[in-house]
Structure 1
Amino acid sequence: MFRLVGSSVQLDIQDPKPEFHDLFWVINRENNVVQYDNKRKNMMYYSDYGGRVEFNEETYSLTLKNLQKTDSGLYEVRASGDEVRVVAEYRLSVLDPEEAPVLTHQLSRDTCNITLTCRGHDLSINSSCYKETCEEKEVTSPGGVILSLSVSGSTIICNHSNPVSWKTDVLEMKELERLCADEGEGEDKVN
């Protein structure tokens, strides 16, 4: 599961109604988030989550609020009775929103070749356009961040995204056509 920093997530048990004495929500197989004693109907929240956790006594779901990047990890629900068994498991990744990318262009001298540069965070794409035809490209970082340069109708789009957010910068094809026309007029005036 991917979620944005500051958002909330509800994690449900995957077993319809497990039989148990105690139920534990655990992160990264070692740190308790919530412990629920079924006999006493008593729950204990652990301090790292100070007020950001809600446990539902009817469904046994866990809601994490105001997510932080440090909340990323493997969440398990352990039901203990005659034996301990895992009744749900989630891998949660909490991500920052992506930064807005920057799309720039540069005209080559004497031709109508235009170089486009799409930059976002640590990624960069260079592409070329000749008149109304632009090369589309995409790169992905090891962390799953995608930077892409594409054309939709008469718009060139530089998109910077991760699994939970995206930002774009756009350039209208008309701007490139105007650059080519200006370059062509400049040549005529010199001759």
Structure 2
Amino acid sequence: MAMMLQLNIVLSTLISVTASSDVFGLVDSSVQLDIRHPVLEFDELLWVFNRTNNVLNYYTELKKTEQYPGNEGRVEFNEETYSLTLKNLQKTDSGLYEAKASGNKVRVVAEYRLSVLDPVEAPVLTHQLSRDTCNITLTCRGHDLSISSSCYKETCEEKEVTSPGGIPLSLSVSGSTIICNHSNPVSWKKDVLEMKELKRLCADEGEGSVSPFAGVSVCFLKTVLYSIILTLMLSAVITVHIRERLTKSS
């Protein structure tokens, strides 16, 4: 009965002075969890994972830290700011982290909900020229997402889609660059296409639609021209020779 009464007293003195904040970390990287509110006098400061797993305890009077099993070498504690740094993050580190300062009362002075994510895959941006001159279709692909957009000359339609997990894929234009961007809260990768490439494709298509000599080399054209001239000259000589013979015969 006495133990239950003591437990109820402890629970009744647990006070939260901060709201939970969402933070994100990249696999194999580090993240720092800070105390956002001033911490008054306390005897111990305990960082806890998912409410039940102790990570690190700091004893004020002794100025000593204690790391709990499974966290040795993976956490760092700042004795001046009381911040906790988690190193070599893995997806299993995702969850709720709380800092509890205990003295006359137990106060939650920091609370974070950490999500550890993989880096995004590099997207791929492709283009295809349609039958209509200067009408180009762009395709932006990233993981299981895809965007198709159309461009006419230097005007392109911008689009964005988001996966069910909240990972966006976007196709946008910045100055003279078309950007296919794939990102999450901790990483981003892109593939780009210069607008001058679309102008070149448009110009090539335009030339091909009006010139009958597209793709024919200059050397070949010169050879044909010289052959025609020689044929004409030879024909003229033969004609003159025939006329002279006919004149003499008459």
* TM-score calculated relative to the size of structure 1: 0.88
Q: Take 1:98 and 1:49, find their aligned partners in 2: how far apart are those partners? A: 27
**Cα deviation digits, residues 64-86 of structure 1 (max 9, x gap):** 12222222222110122333221
C-alpha separation in 2, matches of 1:110 and 1:42: 74
Aligned position for 1:35? 57
Among 53, 73, 81, the alignment partner of 1:51 is 73
- Structure with greater strand percent: 1
Instruction: Report which structure shows greater RCO (CA 8 Å, sep ≥6).
Output: 1
Structure 1 ranges of 4+ moved more than 4 A = none
Letter in 1 for 2:167: V
Of 33, 36, 39, which aligns to 1:11?
A: 33
Find out whether 1:160 has 2:185 as its counterpart. Answer: no
Deviations 1:152-172 (A, max 9, x none): 122111111112221111111
Following the alignment from structure 2 to structure 1, what is the Cα–Cα distance between the partners of residues 71 and 55? 7
Q: 8 Å contact 1:146–1:160 — kept in the other structure?
A: yes
CA distance in structure 1 between the partners assigned to 2:90 and 2:40 by the alignment: 30
Q: CA 1:22–1:185 in 2, change beyond 3 Å: closer, same or farther?
A: same
* Contact 2:39–2:109 under 8 Å retained in 1: no
Structure possessing the higher radius of gyration over alpha carbons: 2
What's the offset of the Cα at 1:189? 4.7
Q: Which residue of 1 aligns with 2:42?
A: 20
What are the ranges of 5 or more consecutive residues in structure 2 without an aligned counterpart? 1-22, 213-250
Q: Counterpart amino acid of 2:47?
A: W
Q: 1:130 maps to what in 2?
A: 152
1:1-191 mapped onto 2 (5 Å cutoff): 1-189=23-211
How far apart are 1:102 and its partner, in Å?
A: 0.3
5+ residue gaps, structure 1:
none
Within 2, Cα distance between the matches of 1:175 and 1:42?
A: 63
1:36-88 deviation digits (Å, cap 9, x = unpaired): 33344443212232311012233322111222222222211012233322111
What is the TM-score when the length of structure 2 is the normalising length? 0.69
For the aligned residues, what is the CA RMSD?
2.1
Q: Distance in 2 between matches of 1:56 and 1:189?
A: 74
SS of residue in 2 equivalent to 1:44: strand
CA distance in 2, matches of 1:60, 1:151: 45
Contact between 2:30 and 2:88, CA under 8 Å: does it hold in 1? yes
Paired residue total = 191
Structure (1/2) with the larger helix percentage: 2
Between stretches 64-73 and 95-104, larger displacement belongs to 64-73
Structure 1 range deviating more: 154-163 or 14-23: 14-23
